[in-house]
Amino acid sequence: GAGVSQTPSNKVTEKGKYVELRCDPISGHTALYWYRQSLGQGPEFLIYFQGTGAADDSGLPNDRFFAVRPEGSVSTLKIQRTERGDSAVYLCASSLMGITDTQYFGPGTRLTVL
């Protein structure tokens, strides 16, 4: 079946702009995660959804970052007033049920803030 998909694959924006990154999880997966990967580093956890609710948003770096999953499937990561330091690859993952289940990752969105 289809894996996790993310759009866009690349996003270039200017400092101060607003961006939205979309994630479509594997069909039937109830848990969804966002991670951020900087060059030469491992992914860093941002937020975890179980169904429609954010079960753990402890990794969001500040209040410019927000994510939603209104119908328990597709999720959108929103970044306001982007900064150059937000440039990274944003990865989405999903798992069948809980957070300790195996997480399957999408191809990521490469965000570049000029």
Partner 1 sequence: AQKVTQAQTEISVVEKEDVTLDCVYETRDTTYYLFWYKQPPSGELVFLIRRNSFDEQNEISGRYSWNFQKSTSSFNFTITASQVVDSAVYFCALIKGGGADGLTFGKGTHLIIQP
Closest CA to 113 of 38, 32, 31: 38
Task: Work out how close the CB of 43 gets to partner 1 at its nearest, in angstroms, rounded to a whole number.
Answer: 5
Name the residue nearer to partner 1 (CB basis): 14 or 42.
Answer: 42
Q: How many CB atoms lie within 10 A of CB 31?
A: 20
Task: Work out how close the CB of 16 gets to partner 1 at its nearest, in angstroms, rounded to a whole number.
Answer: 27
Output the six-digit token pair for 11.
Answer: 């996003």
Name the residue nearer to partner 1 (CB basis): 66 or 105.
Answer: 105
Name the residue nearer to partner 1 (CB basis): 14 or 27.
Answer: 27
Task: Work out how close the CB of 67 gets to partner 1 at its nearest, in angstroms, rounded to a whole number.
Answer: 13
Name the residue nearer to partner 1 (CB basis): 26 or 68.
Answer: 26
Q: How many CB atoms lie within 10 A of CB 107?
A: 14
Residues β-bridged to residue 19: 79
Binding-site ranges for partner 1 (CB under 8 A): 33, 35, 40-46, 48, 56, 58-59, 89, 91, 93, 98-100, 102-108
Q: How far apart are the first and last CA of the chain?
A: 37
Output the six-digit token pair for 70.
Answer: 């209104």
